[in-house]
Structure 1
């Protein structure tokens, strides 16, 4: 499983049936278990060596602005693997997955749909 591109690894990890995931900060020796329902976002910056991990051409992309339940906002490109006939914003958001994938330049952000108040397409 660990030979998958980073995006696929993170998605698999977040969408796994396990409710709690281990989390460890570099500064702390012990790990904690965090309930995935309380994760707002998981973010990383794409390294130059990750270029071969480009998103598939079949992915649907749409510019969006997200408003979270705490009224903070995030803008970027929603990337979804929905079929072409299900490429409306509502189709991309109403999938069985708990997290959506947003890109913003080199940033990749997996966003917990439970933390969303509103999503606006542009």
Structure 2
């Protein structure tokens, strides 16, 4: 599959318009250069996790950056998404706004002292 095919799949998965594809491709390319994650891997991960990410309030651009960071960290993306979904559900159940809960979780991941902490 090509970068164009992958981008079209991401556009469809996130419910974007065709004219958004160029900006999305630029974002994905930028994330790939910054993180070392291939466009193919990033696109597939975005499509696979699109429903969960959108439910959590991620735009396609946010998703690309977040998943690029997860892939770059070496963490298992599916485990991270499962844990993230559970953690956000627990936080919002306590009345923490989704955006604040997500920032708290990202900060704890970034500041974790080991792979298993956070």
- Is the structural similarity TM-score above 0.5? no
Query: TM class by shorter-chain length?
Result: under 0.3
Alignment TM-score, normalising by the size of structure 2: 0.24
Q: Which has the higher helix share?
A: 2
Name the structure, 1 or 2, with higher relative contact order (CA <8 Å, separation 6+). Answer: 1
Alignment TM-score, normalising by the size of structure 1: 0.24
